[in-house]
Structure 1
């Protein structure tokens, strides 16, 4: 079952952000673009490489009116401890959401109940709180922040110009496609 167009569920969770503990709720997400970046666990191997790359591109996401929320089933206390202990994680300026109950991971369909953690899932959520793109990978396969940013930009372009579509590897400034209106909805 596809999650495209699914509205994210209501939530309230603790986060580690800007050297403080905060509460993030669904309403904080609405009104701008958002990326929910699920990863299996703090103090792990692939996760810090992904999060560091995402942190290095954070300003580009912010320039695109997009907030990034990293999410794992760890507590906000574990996020702080990892932040304090890891040079890579110290670079993070986006909220690190705590999901120890797995509620968010379940809502986004990435919770591995047997292992007790979330699979690697990247979700682009529009300002209305609906998922417009996502990718889920096995825990041992890292993701690309550059590709996630490109997908965000494509989603934003399509949202702005609904009669255009973005071909493979499209980046801002590239040509787009205008589908035959008699075929729209029949594909």
Structure 2
């Protein structure tokens, strides 16, 4: 499981590109400080850190989105930290690999974007996800395979995303630095 000290070190090292992301970074760090034993576990009812991936194809023109089975909307790949995840980056890469079925994904060295959103997790309790998002690239010729968490999995042109994708457009714009 991702230790809160490891997650804090990852976030501390990251230099966000704007004031909004900087404010979220410090809010995430304060949450980690307040919940040193469980901030990265789904059992942390007030909220917990999650890790997700903006998966782009090798050319960078399409992003892989999942029609989430429980949320009933198109979202980036990602989810909860699990035992064995050394850090948030590893959790994001594991989730992207599991949910896409694509081997050989490469992940950015640092986060791309932070987001907080309300959700009812698998435990059935309303909570918040403090989501740490990374940029992930698929290898040339990658073919995605639907997992049990998805109703559908599809490559979308980055300039023609489906409706109700929240902050995806912002994340895609950030990939250009």
Q: Sort the TM-score into its range (normalised by shorter chain).
A: under 0.3
* More strand by percentage: 2
From the CA coordinates, give the structure whose radius of gyration is larger.
1
Normalising by the residue count of structure 2, what TM-score does the alignment of the two structures yield?
0.27
Normalising by the residue count of structure 1, what TM-score does the alignment of the two structures yield?
0.26
